[in-house]
Amino acid sequence: MRKVRIGIIGTGYIGNVHARILAKDERAEISALYDIVHEKAERNSKVVGGKVCRSREELFENCDAVFVCTPNKTHVEIAVDALNHEKHVFCEKPFAVGLENAKVLLETAQSSKCKFQVGHNRRYAPVYVKLKEILQSDKPHSAHIKMNRGELKNPSWTGDPEVTGGFLYETTIHLFDMIRFQFGEISELVAYGSQHEYPELDEFSIIFKFRNNFHCTFASSSDASWLFPFERMEVFFHHRTVLTQEMEHLIDSKGMDANFETFSWAMLEKEEKWGYAQEDKAFIDAIVQDEQPPVTAYDGYKSVEIVESVYEAIRSGEKLRFL
């Protein structure tokens, strides 16, 4: 069987993470790298292999599948270009910035014969796989969720909405996708936001209601310090609480006493603990086995819809209902 030739566009941190993982998959090979900073691609090539290309066109000529690992606002243009060149596409989050851009990419991906997967890695993180397993065996009532950052200064572009599309796109979209994955489709939301440290809305408080009547509060701060756990889900059942602590631990407390059970993935390598290795394997599986990837363009579109709905609810000061 011929190996799947992988081209990576954007050889920064996340591009390098995917490259290292894929270089270990016997079904794939890193065949082409492209970055607007040519030296970065050259450095990565020395570690994972692959031809260092001078243009996107050259990369397309030397690969079967493309990993889009560039800044947020460039994703749609690059992903559409790759699909139009009949390449399978793995697009890092966010799927797009803005609903109109998201619709363009959704329509292109759904009309293509090529595979398209969105990089919502947390769906594969063992802590959230375990939570999903629990939710399938017990019915929750509500939850409290937070996803904070300590700062938006390192790297410096994380605090630039002209690059990220906004704080919700850069950080919070991870758990916006996660709540839909865990609890189902949203029916309405109320949101409040404020601006303190950065030239954008950078603090958020949201209440979500879901079609199944589940509801949750959601807080996201851009400058909360790196107090552990900066990412947490507390899910409440009948005399039961399930608590996640980033990608490290899950605590399951049942009954009316103080007993609890702890599950830990703290000793796993980060690529597996955070779900990167599993999502890359799923993408290669989809190509080799001719199956639909588990995180689709529609999932990516819905995550953008949630982000834009929160921003709209804050602008309007009104409750926003989903059709």
Q: What is the pLDDT of residues 265-300, one digit of tens each?
A: 999 999 999 999 999 999 999 999 999 999 999 999
Give the pair of three-digit tokens for residue 195: 């601006």
Instruction: Report residues of the chain scoring pLDDT below 70.
Output: none
pTM of the model: 0.96
For residue 34, give the 3-state DSSP assignment: strand
Q: How far apart are CA 268 and CA 216, in angstroms?
A: 30
Within 10 Å of residue 6's Cβ, how many Cβ atoms?
30
The secondary structure of the chain in percent helix, strand, coil, rounded to multiples of 5, reads: 40, 25, 35
The burial of 86, by beta-carbon neighbours within 10 Å (0-12 exposed, 13-18 middle, 19 or more buried), is given as: exposed
Q: What pLDDT does 291 receive?
A: 97
Using CA atoms, how far apart are residues 64 and 5, in angstroms rounded to an integer? 5
Please check whether residue 97 is in contact with residue 71, taking contact to mean a CB–CB distance below 8 angstroms. Answer: no
Please tell me the predicted confidence (pLDDT) of residue 69: 98
Question: Helices 276-289 and 13-22, interaxial angle, to 10°?
Answer: 60
CA-nearest of 304, 167, 270, 179 to 232 is: 179
| DSSP one-letter code for 200 | S
